[in-house]
Chain A
Amino acid sequence: QKEVEQDPGPLSVPEGAIVSLNCTYSNSAFQYFMWYRQYSRKGPELLMYTYSSGNKEDGRFTAQVDKSSKYISLFIRDSQPSDSATYLCANLGKSTFGDGTTLTVKP
């Protein structure tokens, strides 16, 4: 079992929709999580960095960590075509990444 599992997608939504991207992790010692956005053939770009349970908000993006269920989520409000990319979740402590979810936002 991979230490970080990510919903595989792909995901296609209309512009303006709320998007939910999800990951689970297996190691209860994990505490620090990151979400990255990666455009095709580019390096990943850090979106959110979270520690412990609860929500963290940054503009249209909200990262949520539920340690009791070992579940992490990224919500995108008012999605835009420019949000079309692959989203990667990661555990910071062991530098373990999910395989990514590819999102397409259609105008």
Chain B
Amino acid sequence: SQTIHQWPATLVQPVGSPLSLECTVEGTSNPNLYWYRQAAGRGLQLLFYSVGIGQISSEVPQNLSASRPQDRQFILSSKKLLLSDSGFYLCAWSRGGLHEQYFGPGTRLTVT
């Protein structure tokens, strides 16, 4: 069966500090991978998606970036965090573009 991991689970970072969130998927190959952000009491906003190694599509212009160095690894980064970057970050995977998405446990980021 497939499993998706995210870490860390919780993170508190000062404004201006760098960020690196990691997501890995087990039990499947060549998945589509997604990064979402969820603000408090709101739905999910798609940030990035990837259909393969090194292939990243950005949905929202911001100070975040994503990379996919390996088939089942997806990383979300920032060089300098803003207060507005606080939120619940979720990684998801799917078998393809029109297949259902499965989410990881999320990382709760607080920028102070």
Chain A positions near chain B (C-beta within 8 angstroms): 4, 6, 32, 34, 36, 41-46, 49, 88, 90, 92-93, 95-100
Contact in complex: B106, A42 (CB < 8 Å) = yes
Contact in complex: A98, B43 (CB < 8 Å) = yes
Complex interface: chain B residues within 8 A of A92 (CB): 98-101
Contact in complex: A95, B43 (CB < 8 Å) = no
Tally B residues with Cβ within 8 Å of A: 23
In-complex Cβ contact of A46 among B36, B41, B42, B102 (8 A): B102
* Contact status of A100 and B42, CB under 8 A, knowing A32-B98, A34-B100, A46-B100: yes
Complex interface: chain A residues within 8 A of B74 (CB): none
Contact in complex: A99, B105 (CB < 8 Å) = no
Q: Is B104 an interface residue (CB 8 A)?
A: yes
* Contact status of A49 and B43, CB under 8 A, knowing A43-B105, A43-B106, A44-B90: no
In-complex Cβ contact of A95 among B34, B102, B106, B108 (8 A): B34
Complex interface: chain B residues within 8 A of A4 (CB): 43
Which 8 pairs of residues, A with B, have the shortest CB-CB distance?
A97-B43, A43-B103, A99-B43, A97-B44, A49-B100, A95-B46, A43-B106, A44-B103
Contact in complex: B42, A99 (CB < 8 Å) = yes
Docked Cα-Cα span, A100 to B39, in Å, equals 12
Q: 28 interchain pairs (CB within 8 A)?
A: A4-B43, A6-B43, A32-B98, A36-B103, A41-B88, A41-B106, A41-B108, A43-B103, A43-B104, A43-B105, A44-B103, A45-B103, A46-B103, A49-B100, A90-B44, A92-B98, A92-B101, A93-B97, A95-B34, A95-B44, A95-B49, A96-B46, A97-B43, A98-B43, A99-B42, A99-B43, A100-B42, A100-B43
The winner among A43, A45, A93, A98 for most chain B CB atoms within 10 A is: A43
Other 9 A-B pairs with CB < 8 A, given A34-B101, A44-B103, A88-B44: A36-B103, A41-B88, A42-B106, A43-B90, A46-B103, A92-B100, A92-B101, A97-B45, A99-B43
